[in-house]
Amino acid sequence: MKILVSPTKTMDPQGFDPGQLAFTNKNLKILSGLYGVLRPMDGIKPHHLDFNTPLRINSKGLNKFWQEKIITYFEEQTRKDNSKKTNPDKGHKKNHPGRV
């Protein structure tokens, strides 16, 4: 899913209960031209840099600079999510009868 407008203009996090804040912070990702992939509660310095800013880093625009990093991040997150769905016990030790 793509969000084409700033989510801060349509969300009211001050009205969220603690569960909603935790869910949002875990599941919502924000793309920043300066910081890359962020969670809603990540602390950042205010800035007005977006992906359309004509800034060059190693002769790349911001889109090209972040593209591989962002794709890799979301591919890894997708693999982790799929792994949890297909093997929910992976990485979790539960106190099952007979398990030490």
Give the pLDDT confidence score for residue 7 in this predicted structure.
Answer: 53
Spatial neighbors of 32 by CB under 8 A, at least 6 apart, are: 38, 44, 49
| Encoded amino acid at 38, one letter | L
Give the pLDDT confidence score for residue 19 in this predicted structure.
Answer: 92
| Number of domains composing the chain | 1
Q: Exposure pattern of 59-84 as b/e (b: 16+ CB <10 Å)?
A: eebbeebbeeeeeeeeeeeeeeeeee
| Containing structural domain, residue 58 | 22-85
> Does residue 94 belong to any structural domain of this protein?
no
Beta bridge partner(s), residue 38: 30
> Does residue 46 belong to any structural domain of this protein?
yes
> Does residue 13 belong to any structural domain of this protein?
no
Distance CA 39, CA 46 (A): 15
> Does residue 76 belong to any structural domain of this protein?
yes
For residue 1, pLDDT over 70 is answered with no
Cβ proximity of 8 and 41 under 8 Å: no
Q: For residue 63, give the nearest of 32, 30, 29 by alpha carbon.
A: 32
Q: What is the pLDDT of residues 2-37, one digit of tens each?
A: 445 555 556 777 888 999 989 988 888 888 888 888
> Does residue 57 belong to any structural domain of this protein?
yes
> Does residue 6 belong to any structural domain of this protein?
no
Rounded percentage of the chain residues whose pLDDT exceeds 90: 3
For residue 58, pLDDT over 60 is answered with yes
Give the pLDDT confidence score for residue 95 in this predicted structure.
Answer: 40
> Does residue 17 belong to any structural domain of this protein?
no
> Does residue 59 belong to any structural domain of this protein?
yes
Mean pLDDT (the chain, rounded) = 74
